[in-house]
Structure 1
Amino acid sequence: MNPRTLSRALAAFALSSSVISAAYAQNSAPQPVPIVSVIPEPQDRPLTTAMTLQVDATDIDRAIFHVRQTIPVEQGKPLILLYPQWLPGKHGPRGALAEMTGLMIRAGGNALRWTRDPVQVYAFHVDVPAGTASVDVEFQFTAPVRESEGRINVTPNMMNVQWEQVAVYPAGHFTRAIQVKPSITLPEGWTGVAALDGAKISGNRIEYGVTDFETLVDSPMFAGPHYKKWDLGNNVTLNVWADNAKYLEAKPEQIAAHRALVDESIILFGSKHFDRYEFLLGLTEELGGVGLEHHRSSENTRETDYFTEWDDNMSERGLLPHEFTHSWNGKFRRPATMWTPDYSTPMRDNLLWVYEGQTSFWDLVLGARSGLQSKEMVLGEWAKYAGSYAEQPGRTWRSVEDTTHDPIFGARKPKPFASQARGEDYYNESSLIWLDADMTIRQLSKGKKSLDDFAKAFFGVRDADWGVLTYDFDEVVRTLNAVQPYDWAKFLDTKLRQPGQPAPLNGLGKGGYKLVWKEEPNIFDKESMKESNVFNLTHSLGIILNKDATITSVMWNSPAFKANIVSGAKIIAVDGYAYSKDGLTSAIKAAKDNKTPVRLLMERNKRYTQIDIAYSGGLRYPHLEAIGQGETAIDRLLSPRRPKK
């Protein structure tokens, strides 16, 4: 460019810039309003006196809890009340604020003005007259009455009381420093159990002794008219409620398996971090499902046939081992970034691959060791996970540790293509990675050490301490190295923090098994499909169908995906005949000739489409198959530890 041309170009640019600047100057251009928090940070200092909490839970027809609280006021300090938001065990902001209604705050019988914080909407600023010693709080918690509103936790025959839903607390304190005296009124004839101390029962009212707010929230209640309990030893009780009393008929050998679970767990960890433990188990088709850990109890639901059809629901019996393990892993030992001083402080979930992942490993091991589940069932479940991760496309871009953030932003809602998006894989993929760690320790130590030794060294410390002992990544590595020297930092970082890793099958191979594919589902898949009433064709066509032939999941890049099939579409006909499971199975088998497509008539949004799927791979289900003869290392892992009687 010659000098004259360059000069003209620069002049044109300057002119256009000035025109743009002038035009921009004429537009409105606001500046942000600063966000200034006036909510005090929590401090580890006691509240002046104890709060009182009275819950009336008798309105079961409308599922309304009526709440009354008396909360002391600290002189010279503003009163800000908080509704719990970030809840342990739920791994995200799951506070049920939308169901809190009718909030009234009074002092001396006079209504006080309150305003919701515009940023922290779970906080309420209260105008308190000078000299006020306490305020009276009333509100209703309107529990969901249909599934579209949320989890059902009140039915005519059962309720699950989660105290964080029926209480507020003052800002500025660690929740463990806030004392509270709770009470609850239940429907006539109902029995309620919570891991709270000092219970005094008068008619249908239960009044508990003074406890701290953290312990209260960590001690939920199950209640109902059809109730039975069993002593499992070691100060552990199995409390069971059912929709009907006939579902409470358990055989001695069934209870013996639960008793063995307690024995095996205490042998494994070598300690107890509870003075007593209450399994709260609801056998129900009406109450919403739950499996939630607490330090001295757990909330659990299973179907009504838990005892009465014992031989047909073994795949469902991993829940209690999982939640019981959490008393050690998750409640006593907790990642430092997941322990929070109150329920407004966000949790950082990075180490859920220990908290939930190793728990998912131990629930399978303890299920087998106790006899709640057979070795074949546990191998079937590991086969399911191995097959899933062997063909999961989303692992190319997303690490296991990144999935630990899913409970916060994913909120556990269904995803259009879960195999590509990934979900909370830190549970089951980590289970296979911890299996690899166990088998690596066994190999390097020539069978003298295993992950059992890590469990004792990491979770089994400080017997009888039911506080919280936090840890970080480095402590996990140090403890593993103390059990068996190895580059554990690289092992964990590579497999858990790096995307694009191969499926975690090494532990299976080291343990004496390999992943194979067969036309028939393994014992776990077979029972799971029966229990959930679905037809799982993930590893063939790439779809899962519900009982109505509606597709609920489509595998990314699968034959169905390439045929533009999505979740929500419904199969109307197969090869010209009305849909049936047997008909679709036959069509998939017939297509193995590599000439015949799987021909489907699909309906989606009232539009009908004929779709031919080019697939010839036949039915495919994952199985684990022993590599050689004799007992394997995985067989030894799953063998009972308690002495034979």
Structure 2
Amino acid sequence: MHIQRVLKLRHLFASTCIALALVASPGLGQNSKPQPVPIADLIPEARDVPFPGVMTLEVDATDIDRAIFSMKQTIPVPEEARKSGRLTLLYPQWLPGNHAPRGEIEKLVGLKFSADGKPLVWRRDSIDVNAFHITLPAGARELVASFQFVSPTAGNQGRVVVAPKMMNLRWNNVSLYPAGYFTRNIPVDATVTWPAGWQAGSAMRPKRTTGNRVAYERVDYDTLVDSPMFAGAHFKSWPLSDKVTLNVVADAPEYLAATPDQIEAHRRLVAEAENLFGTRHYDRYDFLLSLSDEMSGIGIEHHRSSENGVGTGYFTDWAKGPGSRNLLPHEMTHSWNGKHRRPQGIWAPDFRTPSRDDLLWVYEGQTQFWGYVLGARSGLFSYQDTLDAFAAIAAGLDRRAGRNWRPLVDTTHDPIIAARRPKGWASYQRSEDYYNEGMMIWLEADQIIRRESGNARSLQDFARSFFGGREGDWGVVTYELPDVVAALNAVQPYDWQGFFQGRVFEVTPQVTKQGFVLGGYELVYVPEPSNFIRSGEVASGTSDLSHSIGLIVEKDGKIAQVIWDSPAFAAGMTVGDQITGVASRDYSGEALKAAVAATPTTGTVQLLVKRGKRYRETALSYKGGLRYPALRKTGQGETGLDRLLAPQTR
């Protein structure tokens, strides 16, 4: 009993100490507990009313050595701002075509404001860092802003837009706009001082030129941002129709040596696109194309132009493969799909409103579809290269193990989620698959319409009715998913809602390939790569073994991609590993392919792999040999896919 009493007393003492500690310690049960304070939005909401006055914007683009743009901007002060004593200016952040907030606010420097020659106090908004609140003196009728945009001088700073012989002037980088107004209601007079001797291409037209200083026609701010410029010392233009021009800048004049046949293919592109949609939603359209190894590439759509940046060999290496020739058909298609017809969630009254990207599988997916079709119809892509591209795309989507957990519609948010940064496990994480998988869905839709209508109709009928309209109307007409379904049913009655539900909104283990099947083809795997795959390997400097051992390997043996659940994955390989040896010999792409080709006999691929400072011997268990995707014709005569890709204007 004595021992039990002692233990009981000890327990009571310990419990008392714990209770006292709880009372005494502010860290346990007595923490301070703040309450949230409502966040006041100090930025005026955009209104669909005219802006009182005209902004002027002067850009000095002559500092090509340091890639710095210098600006002076004059903004009239609205009456309500004069009364309140404060004006809010915004820097564009949510940029059309980027599907995410891509404004480079960190590169805006040297910001100063003045009125009547006197400096003004400004403060950045504490919530929206792209907004600036300026305190105005009594009677101020206009505000003058001066600032610089320090564009990237190396790729790790962002996209390089200034090279020694060319530049890409993007108005969203070099301007501000007043909050409280739809951007389409804010008039702007813009002037650019170019480097001496340079020429510029844009959907905007000069109204006055003094030396190398060019004043451009007045436009609204929305159109200004939608009208970028390519300028350079080596510049050439080709008319492609009465309204369309191809403007090209290059690192050196020899890269501008386009042949008549090459330019003719671009003329056919325009003819095929205008025939496809039946109307032209532009008063003029300017392809802006840079051929450079120094300025970063790009592919961004605009209503009356497009920014297209590729390597220097676009014309001079034409015979080596299709290369980047699918870019221009894709971007021009956006003039109809994405710019004139736009999902309601993607249209915005200003560049502050976030984008709701759920319908990008229509916006980008059907554009990807028509881009490949127009490439084939125009001859920019050969018929065989187009089939090979379809095969490679479908097979690549089947390698996306992430499709077992992530539906296609969720990838439409990827531009915001991932900000287009590299991914370590892209096949499992998925990426912006709405482009290519959207294309496969629309390919199937085309073939269904052909089958159900007895080849009387096709997706082209939908394109004309849905993306057409009034000739020359380069305004915006918005839509929602029910509008897409209704327009398809008007062309060909079918369960289109159910069709999209199963392919877009639900998890699918494989990409649909019914477009191939109905079109008279099937996806197969062969031991030799197509010209499309081979030319892609040459351009990228990689060996694509994603359909066999599950690797894409760079020229020096560094692993660029590992396919989830592949033999390479099972062997523990990751992006960043480097293959230094194959079967006891130094690494080369040819040696790796030879080892894979021998696997039906050997059953393994023996590799020496380096990770950091460590080496390890790795054996990949695999018996399938080399495997590359291809399309094999199963139908007789001219099939649905043949009809889809056939030229329509010659």
What range is the shorter-chain TM-score in? over 0.9
1:54 alignment counterpart? 58
1:582 alignment counterpart? 590
Q: Give the letter aligned to residue 620 of structure 1.
A: R
- Shift of residue 51, structure 1, vs aligned partner: 0.5
Does 2:443 correspond to 1:435? yes
2:202 alignment counterpart? 194
Once residues 493 and 20 of structure 2 are traced to their aligned partners in structure 1, the CA distance between those partners, rounded to angstroms, is 68
2:394 alignment counterpart? 386
1:4 alignment counterpart? none
Q: Secondary structure at the match of 2:79?
A: coil
1:66 alignment counterpart? 70
Distance 1:237 1:17, change over 3 A: farther
Once residues 384 and 604 of structure 2 are traced to their aligned partners in structure 1, the CA distance between those partners, rounded to angstroms, is 35
1:136 alignment counterpart? 144
1:606 alignment counterpart? 613
Q: Secondary structure at the match of 2:438?
A: helix
Conservation of the 8 A alpha-carbon contact between 1:315 and 1:377 = no
With 410-419 and 21-30 compared, the bigger mean Cα shift is at 21-30
Q: Secondary structure at the match of 1:26?
A: coil
Once residues 95 and 320 of structure 2 are traced to their aligned partners in structure 1, the CA distance between those partners, rounded to angstroms, is 34
Find the partner of 1:625 among 632, 635, 650.
632
Does 2:479 correspond to 1:471? yes
Find the partner of 1:315 among 317, 323, 331.
323
2:106 alignment counterpart? 98
Once residues 515 and 199 of structure 1 are traced to their aligned partners in structure 2, the CA distance between those partners, rounded to angstroms, is 55
TM alignment of 1:139-218, pairs within 5 A? 139-218=147-226
Distance 1:124 1:254, change over 3 A: same
1:637 alignment counterpart? 644
Once residues 21 and 596 of structure 1 are traced to their aligned partners in structure 2, the CA distance between those partners, rounded to angstroms, is 69
TM-score for the superposition, normalised by structure 1:
0.96
- Shift of residue 390, structure 1, vs aligned partner: 2.3
Conservation of the 8 A alpha-carbon contact between 2:322 and 2:385 = yes
Distance 1:16 1:507, change over 3 A: farther
Conservation of the 8 A alpha-carbon contact between 1:495 and 1:501 = no
- Shift of residue 382, structure 1, vs aligned partner: 0.6
Does 2:47 correspond to 1:43? yes
- Shift of residue 38, structure 1, vs aligned partner: 1.0
Q: Secondary structure at the match of 2:78?
A: coil
- Shift of residue 185, structure 1, vs aligned partner: 0.4
Q: Percent identity?
A: 51
Find the partner of 1:526 among 522, 529, 534.
534
Once residues 334 and 18 of structure 1 are traced to their aligned partners in structure 2, the CA distance between those partners, rounded to angstroms, is 66
TM-score for the superposition, normalised by structure 2:
0.95
Once residues 605 and 174 of structure 1 are traced to their aligned partners in structure 2, the CA distance between those partners, rounded to angstroms, is 53
Once residues 161 and 635 of structure 2 are traced to their aligned partners in structure 1, the CA distance between those partners, rounded to angstroms, is 49
TM alignment of 1:252-271, pairs within 5 A? 252-271=260-279
Conservation of the 8 A alpha-carbon contact between 2:188 and 2:220 = yes
- Shift of residue 17, structure 1, vs aligned partner: 11
Conservation of the 8 A alpha-carbon contact between 2:399 and 2:563 = no
Once residues 501 and 171 of structure 2 are traced to their aligned partners in structure 1, the CA distance between those partners, rounded to angstroms, is 38
- Shift of residue 501, structure 1, vs aligned partner: 4.8
Does 2:330 correspond to 1:326? no
2:6 alignment counterpart? none
Unmatched tracts of structure 2, length 5 or more: 1-14
- Shift of residue 596, structure 1, vs aligned partner: 4.3
Q: Give the letter aligned to residue 542 of structure 1.
A: G
Once residues 482 and 323 of structure 2 are traced to their aligned partners in structure 1, the CA distance between those partners, rounded to angstroms, is 35
- Shift of residue 234, structure 1, vs aligned partner: 3.2
Equivalenced residues, count: 631
Q: Secondary structure at the match of 1:250?
A: coil
Does 2:359 correspond to 1:351? yes
Q: Give the letter aligned to residue 213 of structure 2.
A: R
Q: Secondary structure at the match of 2:323?
A: helix
TM alignment of 1:296-311, pairs within 5 A? 296-311=304-319
Conservation of the 8 A alpha-carbon contact between 1:512 and 1:634 = yes
Distance 1:21 1:556, change over 3 A: farther
- Shift of residue 21, structure 1, vs aligned partner: 8.8
Conservation of the 8 A alpha-carbon contact between 2:556 and 2:588 = no
Conservation of the 8 A alpha-carbon contact between 1:529 and 1:535 = yes
Once residues 346 and 533 of structure 1 are traced to their aligned partners in structure 2, the CA distance between those partners, rounded to angstroms, is 37
Once residues 568 and 516 of structure 1 are traced to their aligned partners in structure 2, the CA distance between those partners, rounded to angstroms, is 31
Does 2:556 correspond to 1:548? yes
Q: Give the letter aligned to residue 142 of structure 1.
A: V
Deviations 1:484-530 (A, max 9, x none): 00010110121111113532101110000000001111221111111
Conservation of the 8 A alpha-carbon contact between 2:342 and 2:478 = yes
Once residues 369 and 115 of structure 2 are traced to their aligned partners in structure 1, the CA distance between those partners, rounded to angstroms, is 52
- Shift of residue 103, structure 1, vs aligned partner: 0.4
Deviations 1:347-397 (A, max 9, x none): 100000111000000001000111111111111111011111223211111
1:335 alignment counterpart? 343
Conservation of the 8 A alpha-carbon contact between 1:75 and 1:131 = no
- Shift of residue 34, structure 1, vs aligned partner: 2.6
Conservation of the 8 A alpha-carbon contact between 1:235 and 1:276 = yes
Distance 1:234 1:498, change over 3 A: farther
Once residues 135 and 477 of structure 2 are traced to their aligned partners in structure 1, the CA distance between those partners, rounded to angstroms, is 38
Find the partner of 1:480 among 481, 488, 491.
488
Does 2:604 correspond to 1:597? yes
Conservation of the 8 A alpha-carbon contact between 2:166 and 2:251 = yes
Conservation of the 8 A alpha-carbon contact between 1:306 and 1:313 = no
- Shift of residue 199, structure 1, vs aligned partner: 2.8
RMSD of aligned alpha carbons? 1.8
Deviations 1:103-142 (A, max 9, x none): 0111111111111111100000101112100111011000
Conservation of the 8 A alpha-carbon contact between 1:315 and 1:373 = no
- Shift of residue 315, structure 1, vs aligned partner: 3.4
Once residues 604 and 369 of structure 2 are traced to their aligned partners in structure 1, the CA distance between those partners, rounded to angstroms, is 41
- Shift of residue 61, structure 1, vs aligned partner: 0.2
- Shift of residue 302, structure 1, vs aligned partner: 1.7
Conservation of the 8 A alpha-carbon contact between 1:64 and 1:141 = yes
Find the partner of 1:122 among 119, 130, 151.
130
- Shift of residue 20, structure 1, vs aligned partner: 6.8
